[in-house]
């Protein structure tokens, strides 16, 4: 009897976990993911993504446009710092990989440390 209840609760946890990831992927259209990924690929990719975003408005794309522009600006500013700027840009690269991974997964997770700042101060991107 106890074994059956443990198995039942284990199945519920597994199905709840799968529903979370399935719903997050199902809610985001492939086109929105493509535009969001494009926004993370250099400034030119960001410009193309913002133009395409004009015809396909989406909160998911807007969120990632703000995050990616913030990373682009941060990387450019860090490149101006002599000696340690390149080392700090390695950190930006790792954060960029983290962000692109979550775009592919269909998540809207803010980048560590500066993600909230990007969302607040780049709010002109709607």
pLDDT at res. 24: 52
Low-confidence ranges of the chain (pLDDT < 70): 1-26
pLDDT at res. 18: 36
Give the torsion through C-alpha atoms of 40, 44, 49, 52, to 10 deg. Answer: -170
Q: Kindly report, residue by residue over 73-89, the tens digit of the pLDDT.
A: 999 999 999 889 999 99
85 near 71, Cβ under 8 Å? Answer: no
Number of domains in the chain: 1
Domain coverage including residue 45:
29-121
With respect to residue 126, please indicate whether it lies within any of the assigned structural domains.
Answer: no
With respect to residue 20, please indicate whether it lies within any of the assigned structural domains.
Answer: no
pLDDT at res. 26: 54
46 near 68, Cβ under 8 Å? Answer: yes
With respect to residue 82, please indicate whether it lies within any of the assigned structural domains.
Answer: yes
With respect to residue 61, please indicate whether it lies within any of the assigned structural domains.
Answer: yes
With respect to residue 16, please indicate whether it lies within any of the assigned structural domains.
Answer: no
pLDDT at res. 118: 94
pLDDT at res. 27: 77
Residue 106 DSSP label = T
């Amino acid at each position: 009897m106890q074994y059956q209840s443990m198995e039942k609760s284990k199945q519920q946890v597994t199905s709840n976990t799968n529903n979370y990831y399935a719903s997050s992927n199902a809610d985001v259209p492939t086109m929105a993911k493509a535009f969001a990924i494009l926004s993370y690929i250099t400034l030119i990719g960001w410009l193309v993504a913002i133009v395409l975003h004009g015809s396909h408005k989406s909160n998911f794309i807007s969120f990632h446009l703000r995050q990616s522009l913030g990373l682009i600006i941060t990387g450019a500013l860090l490149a101006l710092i002599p000696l340690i700027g390149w080392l700090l840009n390695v950190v930006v690269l790792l954060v960029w990989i983290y962000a692109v991974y979550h775009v592919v997964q269909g998540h809207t997770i803010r980048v560590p440390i500066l993600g909230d700042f990007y969302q607040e101060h780049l709010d002109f991107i709607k």
